[in-house]
Amino acid sequence: MDVPPLLPASPTRFIDRLRAFIRARNLAYKTEKTYVHWTKRFIRFHDRRHPTELDSQDIERFLSHLAVQGSASVNTQRTALNALVFLYREFLGIAVEDLQFQQSRKPRRIPTVFTSSEAKAIIDGLDGEFRLLAMLMYGSGLRISEAVRLRVKDVDFGMQQLIVRNGKGNKDRVTLLPGALNAPLHAQRQLVEARHRADLEQGFGRVYLPNALSRKYPRAEIELGWQYLFPARDLSIDPRSGVRRRHHILERTVQRQIKEALRKADIHKLAGSHTFRHSFATRLLEAGYDIRTIQKLLGHADVRTTEIYTHVVRKGGFGVRSPVDALMEDVTG
């Protein structure tokens, strides 16, 4: 779930205080979950000793353990490092300088992508909102978390764009809205409007708003524009407030449907919902679009992250024609 758990007004437990500190910095909830996860792992690694009893050498031991015994990837180790630096420097106010630890050497894997025919076969194997969600991930480069959290107002038909709010790194960005999806998105909006009207008639119709938006805009939670574009089929109770309302469809529900479509399409790649995003970037590169443009559409902070897709395009020999192909042509010719 992407709804932050309720914290005490004056938290006393260490993890609760850390969560409150993160929220005061207005960081994304995914960042909060990541930082809390690595803080807990760090504490457990050191036999549940309090972080204030540990020092830079203990951080180094933990990070080296991830690389050597844990075979962690470069990105995983870097994420753990960022979390612990935040814990000590920002939250505890303890300086950690010149950390010396064993760097992860695990090579970064080239992302799996779908061919155009594979993407079509998977999408054709999906129905309803699942089909539309897959087309958005493939056609707009959305992460699954970004797709399911789209609100009605985030679809700008006039500008032919999608507004992704609170994406990775808690940043907003704009990406393209495929013209082929105008009609199905209009139809989806009509379904949301009809369901929302029925919810209001039954005394419901409120939607979750992040941070303090519900106080800043008291009527926003019942307005159509703030409703999720892909709402859950059933109402649920918000564990923080006890309010019964309609949240968005769950990521794992979409992932299950995509896995089943992969099976039916007889595609045996190690793939999932995120493969549509990889395929989006690869198709744009193949079409000759500028790497910086693709970086902005994907919302990558560093262009080096985007550049990994250049290794996917024509990776089978860098576009070189194999001698055996010419040989077989001579034989069959």
Summarised one tens digit per residue, pLDDT across range 214-242 is 777 888 999 999 999 999 999 998 877 78
Burial (Cβ within 10 Å: 0-12, 13-18, ≥19) of residue 307:
middle
Catalytic, 168? Answer: yes
The class (CATH top level) of 14-92 is: mainly alpha
Catalytic residue among 19, 247, 277, 283: 277
Active site residue 311: no
Residue listed under structure tokens 């055996």: 324
Question: Which residue out of 65, 131, 189, 274 is catalytically annotated?
Answer: 274
Q: Is 274 a catalytic residue?
A: yes
pLDDT at 314: 60
pLDDT of 214 reads 74
Of 19, 35, 143, 247, catalytic: 143
Is residue 248 annotated as a catalytic residue, yes or no?
no
Nearest alpha carbon to residue 168 among 23, 35, 301? 301
| Residue 26 predicted with pLDDT over 90 | no
State the chain's mean pLDDT as an integer: 90
Q: Give the separation between CA 248 and CA 233, rounded to whole angstroms.
A: 9
Burial 27-46 (b: 16+ CB within 10 A, else e): bbbebbebbbebbebbbeeb
Q: What is the pLDDT of residues 146-199, one digit of tens each?
A: 999 999 999 999 999 999 987 776 788 999 999 999 999 999 999 999 999 999
Average pLDDT over residues 280-289: 92
**Least confident segment among 32-46, 201-215, 295-309:** 201-215
Instruction: Identify the pLDDT of residue 163.
Output: 96
Active site residue 196: no
Catalytic (active site) residue 300: yes
Enumerate the β-bridge partners of residue 244: 237
Q: Which of 28-32, 59-63, 310-314 has the highest mean pLDDT?
A: 59-63
Confidence tier at 320 by pLDDT (50, 70, 90) = low
Could you tell me which residues are beta bridge partners of residue 173?
164
Is residue 237 within a helix (H) or strand (E), and if so which, with residue range?
A: strand 236-237
Statement: residue 332 has pLDDT above 60: no
Please choose, from the candidates 73, 106, 87, the residue with its C-alpha nearest in 3D space to the C-alpha of residue 34: 87
* List 165, 168, 259, 296, catalytic entry: 168
Q: What is the pLDDT of residues 99-146, one digit of tens each?
A: 999 998 866 678 899 999 999 999 999 999 999 999 999 999 999 999
> What pTM value is reported for the model?
0.77
Task: Give the distance, in angstroms, between the CA of residue 88 and the centroid of all CA atoms in the same chain.
Answer: 26
pLDDT at 84 over 80: yes
